[in-house]
């Protein structure tokens, strides 16, 4: 999560108003590291706050004022998202590190990872970065029992350029397209019936994805 303010609005030497504020909610595996670094590096932006990399909108809204601040984020199609997470798990820096987080070695097979991990964590465990069962939870509101959006807009990962362009217009600047932290791509073979089983575990996520503009 990163909160920034754009350059002051108005002509230099005359009365200016503060720049527009924006909070970017970083959902894992959606290009968020690249976006965050681009926002941090821009000389005309003021970084107001950075928190846990994958802080949810609900967590932010509970602890900070959101008046005059727009929250935005990105989302990946749930099946593609878990494939990207699996590719990250298989990265040598995790897979071959005996001292690494036990998360990376807990499920040696993709099918075990998909089902076992989704069932192990619970919907209210907000700070688990790898709660794959509900990727949409990063964008939910502050209510424990509701699933209303807590952000103004959610952009599809497939159309990430739209998010870049929207932020540029909102902040009145141009952003360098930085690309970092990409997971290696490996073909994923879903065992028979696993996609349908996973779909049952992430119905809310699929509902949100299917209703994004």
pLDDT 10s digits, 149-176: 788 889 999 999 999 999 999 999 999 9
Is the predicted pLDDT of residue 12 greater than 90, yes or no? no
Average pLDDT over residues 122-136: 46
Lowest mean pLDDT among 14-18, 26-30, 74-78, 173-177: 14-18
3-state secondary structure (DSSP) of residue 119: helix
Structure tokens at 20: 């527009």
Strand partners, 50: 2
pTM: 0.82
Please choose, from the candidates 52, 53, 2, 22, the residue with its C-alpha nearest in 3D space to the C-alpha of residue 168: 22
Closest Cα to residue 36, out of 21, 20, 54, 18? 54
Q: Kindly tell me the number of DSSP H helices and DSSP E strands found in the chain.
A: 8, 5
Higher-confidence residue of 176 and 100: namely 176
Question: CA-based diameter of the chain, in Å?
Answer: 67
pLDDT digits (tens, 9 = 90+) for 52-94: 777 888 888 877 777 778 999 999 998 888 888 888 777 766 6
- Amino acid 83: pLDDT: 86
Give the pLDDT score at 53.
Answer: 74
Q: What's the confidence (pLDDT) of residue 98?
A: 53
């Amino acid at each position: 999560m990163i909160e920034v303010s754009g350059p002051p609005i108005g002509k230099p030497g005359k009365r200016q108003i503060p720049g527009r504020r924006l909070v970017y909610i970083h959902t894992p595996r959606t290009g968020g590291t690249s976006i965050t670094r681009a926002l941090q590096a821009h000389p005309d932006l003021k970084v107001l706050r950075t928190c846990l990399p994958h802080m949810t909108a609900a967590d932010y809204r509970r602890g900070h004022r959101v008046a005059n601040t727009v929250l935005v984020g990105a989302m990946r199609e749930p099946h593609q998202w878990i494939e990207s997470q699996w590719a990250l798990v298989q990265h040598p820096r995790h897979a071959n590190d005996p001292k690494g987080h036990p998360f990376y070695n807990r499920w040696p097979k993709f099918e075990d990872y998909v089902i076992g991990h989704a069932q192990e964590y619970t919907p209210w465990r907000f700070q688990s970065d790898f709660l794959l069962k509900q990727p949409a939870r990063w964008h939910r509101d502050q209510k424990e029992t509701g699933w209303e959006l807590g952000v103004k807009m959610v952009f599809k990962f497939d159309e990430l350029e739209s998010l870049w362009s929207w932020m540029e217009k909102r902040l009145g600047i141009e952003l360098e397209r930085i690309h970092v932290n990409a997971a290696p791509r490996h073909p994923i073979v879903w065992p028979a019936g696993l996609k349908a089983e996973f779909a049952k575990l992430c119905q809310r996520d699929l509902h949100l994805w299917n209703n994004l503009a």
